[in-house]
Structure 1
Amino acid sequence: MTRTLTATVRPPDDAFPIRIDWKSGVTLSIDAIADHGSNVKKGGVLVRFDGRELEQKLAETTQAMSMADLAVAQAQEELAPLEETTRHKLEVSRRSAQVAKEDHAQFHAVQRKAREEQVAQQWERANQSLANQQEELRQLRKMYEADDLTEETEEIILSRQEYMVAAAQHELRMATLERDHTLATLLPREAAALAERERDTADALRAAESAMPLTLNKKRLELEGLRIQAAKAKQTLADLEHDHARLVVHAPADGILLHGAVEHGRWVPAAKPLTTRDPVTPHRAFATFVPSASPPVLAAALDEASARALSPDATGMAVFAGREDLDIRVKSGSPAATTLPDGTSLVTLAASWPQGWQPVIGSTAEVHLVVWHADDSLVVPTHALQPGPRGWSVEVKLADRGSARREVTRGRVSGSQTQILSGLEPGQVVIAPNPGG
């Protein structure tokens, strides 16, 4: 069973595709590139990209990276004391609120009553002192009135006692004023002040417990954001440095540079020779380097039937128009596991190229492949086979010149002939109907 295919010469599998595998996303163009089909020695320049924009961005990113690191360091320096002061301020607020609450409760439970008792006791003492002084003055007067004459000493004693009475009266008035002022003004005022202090410190504590953690978390988030920005700047810098190291592509071995690439197993030449300032599409090969030691291969697209029929290591011949005299033997590999967008399957053919001759990449050849072969096979015309309830059958000629149908097992089909695996013997005559009816 043979198939005739049109195959295209393409670079070998170990050819080196040249593409921009940039990480930075900077748009680059070609600064210099070897001519299409030119020989390049190992280490020679295949292509050089214009790196001015990339180098400018590299410098800017290096500066941005330094600023990002400084911002992170500054934020860390600010965060550490803020965490400490926040903790301290919250403790102070809680302690102030607790003290104010305890003072207010202590005032109503103990101090107010004690103060009331204190001023009452002071008033009672002043009142009692006045009564005592008045009684003593009365007794002195009573005693001295019994004498007809009042001596000078007695007058002095009476005068002194009258002063003591006046002083006691003054002390009583002061005690009365102090008592009334304390009960009517000072104690209510202190009670209100303590209540306000308890309320204010409680409000301040609630505000601190709400605002201070938010401020601290905001600072932490700002630091985390700065760290993320620094990490992004670091990654951007690494990407730019990665790309900067690839601005010049050198030949890994002796070989030739071709403007074009292998896509889906097929050679796709460049629309025009690449030159300076030509833009290139990232992550897509635009040129191919072929090592001198690697011979080109043939690639052919098979239709569905041919792909199924092709056996691995099928052999055949390749014929190039104008060089039909060359004996070029080929061997196929297995068809690709997936089909191309047009529904065909690609197969690569290894060729034994004549000494001193190789085809041009992109040229085509007619390939004749023996996709299947079996010695001593019985074959019949394909149109002699007819399907039936029990399978395939053919009509054979009998010795008495009659005919009969024989069930057969069908094998491979090649054009107008079909292999018969069982059901017929060599020498039997098969009656085939006229294909035209």
Structure 2
Amino acid sequence: MPTFPFRRLSALALLFLAIPTAFSDENDSPVADGDSKPKNVVTIDGVFESKKTHEITAGFEQISSLTIKRILDHGTPVKKGTSIVWFETKEIDEQITKAERDLELAEIAFNDAEFAYEQFLEQQKLDRQAAELARAEARQAYDNFVNVDREQQIRSAEKQLERSKQSLEYAQEELNQLQQMYEEDDLTEESEEIVLKRAQRAVESAEFNLEIAEVRTQRTIEQTIPVKQKQEEATLARAELAYAKKKHDLKSARDKREIERRKQKADFEKQQAEFKKLQAERRALVLTSPTEGLAYHGRITRGKISDKPSTLRKDSKVSASQILMTIVQPQPLRIVATVTEQQRAQLQTGMKGTAIANAFPDQKVPVTLRSIAAVPYANNKIECVVTIQAKTGDTDIVPGMTCKVELEPTKGDDSKKSKTEKSQTEKGNKKAGKK
């Protein structure tokens, strides 16, 4: 396996660096006692992560529970379109059979509802016509009374009074004539008395009838007819109200029925769509890879695979939304690391260094710290991303492997730091001289 070259120090240089001098300050020394690394090198743990990953789920909506019939082993190389997970079909077929029967019943119920709705509309027409007819009859009755009946009742009462007066006049005239006639003829006194008595009674009866007619006529004109007019007006008003209410009730009932009909139609169409979707999901019970790569079981979080080995195997029960596999492409890679807040204080973007895979300690990969998260993703855990400056395609490094990343500050930072340390040293010497 290729290794990345590094500069070897000569034995003489190492010996020279190891000799302590009386002129060197302890703070200016780049090497710590017993350590071959510079003091300011920061070592963090990282994980090799693929830049391109694809999470695989069943993604079904109608099928909630699935049983694995077969699944590729963890880490299997796959190509685009390769079958990676197979599911059992028995329970799904039973679900489809039940859904098909439910859909048939729903279709019958929907057709019955459509027929009932047509009958409802026809009944609505008849009810509206009946309401319009009742209102028209009430209007006609009112118009008849105002335009004809009221005047006729007044004239009839007046005519009845007039006839009563005429009857009295006739009876009185007949009585007067009989009295005059009986005074001139030779009829017997007994016959005169009988005829005159009858005529007198007729006059009295006519007078009584006239009295009754006068009272009846007065009542008819002053009481009966006004009351009748009010009754007709009230009847018409009630008819108008009844018509308005019937019209409102019919519209309200029609609107409600229309809403129920649309809802039932939407439910039926939704059931049809769900059944078609269920059939489509049945045809998709074999999951395939959307791209070329390595098939890892489960979810990969910040480049890390699960700490526990995968339990996905034949007869495993899984949900439709569960992440079953993650297809990772071996190249290109980057390193995702988690640092503490104390380590964060020593880091800044642009720092360069070396990544050493724990599985291949002889392979050193040049890297650059690309980004550091602004906020922790968990308590005292901050994510940073390290880019790899060399190709790793010829190595055995794969996504999910762990590594140690050693980062050194940039030259500008070293210069700035050395100036700060030198200034602090000078200040310390001055204070020592004063003392």
Q: Same fold (TM over 0.5)?
A: yes
- Paired residue for 1:120? 161
Q: State the 1:402 CA deviation.
A: 6.2
Aligned equivalent of 1:334, options 347, 371, 387: 371
3-state SS, counterpart of residue 55 of structure 2: strand
Query: Which runs of no fewer than 5 residues in structure 1 stay unpaired?
Result: 147-168, 387-392, 406-437
3-state SS, counterpart of residue 5 of structure 1: strand
Q: Is residue 315–residue 371 contact of structure 1 (8 Å, CA) maintained in 2?
A: yes
- Paired residue for 2:300? 262
- Greater helix content: 2
Q: State the 1:229 CA deviation.
A: 4.2
Find out whether 1:223 has 2:223 as its counterpart.
no
3-state SS, counterpart of residue 263 of structure 1: coil
Q: State the 1:313 CA deviation.
A: 4.6
Alignment of 1:15-414 (within 5 A): 15-24=53-62, 26-49=64-87, 51-52=92-93, 55-56=96-97, 59=100, 62-63=103-104, 66=107, 70=111, 73-74=114-115, 77=118, 81=122, 84=125, 88-105=129-146, 109-122=150-163, 183=216, 199-200=234-235, 202-235=237-270, 238=273, 241=276, 244-245=280-281, 247-263=285-301, 266-268=304-306, 271-281=309-319, 283-291=321-329, 294-307=331-344, 309-351=346-388, 352=390, 354-374=392-412, 377=415, 379=417, 395-397=427-429, 403=433
> In structure 1, what is the Cα distance between the partners aligned to 2:275 and 2:307?
30
Superposition TM-score, scaled by structure 1 size:
0.63
Q: State the 1:259 CA deviation.
A: 0.5
Superposition TM-score, scaled by structure 2 size:
0.63
Q: Is residue 142–residue 233 contact of structure 2 (8 Å, CA) maintained in 1?
A: yes
Q: Is residue 299–residue 325 contact of structure 2 (8 Å, CA) maintained in 1?
A: yes
Q: Is residue 295–residue 325 contact of structure 2 (8 Å, CA) maintained in 1?
A: yes
Q: State the 1:118 CA deviation.
A: 2.9
Q: Is residue 103–residue 194 contact of structure 1 (8 Å, CA) maintained in 2?
A: no
What per-residue deviation string (whole Å, max 9, x for no partner) do you get for residues 117-147 of structure 1? 233345566677888999999999999x99x
3-state SS, counterpart of residue 268 of structure 1: coil
Q: Which amino acid aligns with 1:288?
A: T
What per-residue deviation string (whole Å, max 9, x for no partner) do you get for residues 255-310 of structure 1? 3211021235543366533124433345453320124x634443211223544654
How has the CA–CA distance of structure 1 residues 45 and 378 changed in structure 2, closer, same or farther, with 3 Å as cutoff?
Answer: closer
- Greater strand content: 1
Q: State the 1:4 CA deviation.
A: 0.7
Q: State the 1:91 CA deviation.
A: 3.7
Bigger RCO (CA 8 Å, 6+ sep):
2
> In structure 1, what is the Cα distance between the partners aligned to 2:413 and 2:372?
25
> In structure 1, what is the Cα distance between the partners aligned to 2:350 and 2:414?
21
> In structure 1, what is the Cα distance between the partners aligned to 2:173 and 2:314?
125
What per-residue deviation string (whole Å, max 9, x for no partner) do you get for residues 29-84 of structure 1? 43443222223332122224454466357536754774686477557645655665
Percent of aligned pairs sharing the same letter: 19
- Paired residue for 1:2? 41
Q: Is residue 298–residue 326 contact of structure 2 (8 Å, CA) maintained in 1?
A: yes
Count of aligned pairs: 370
Q: Is residue 2–residue 372 contact of structure 1 (8 Å, CA) maintained in 2?
A: no
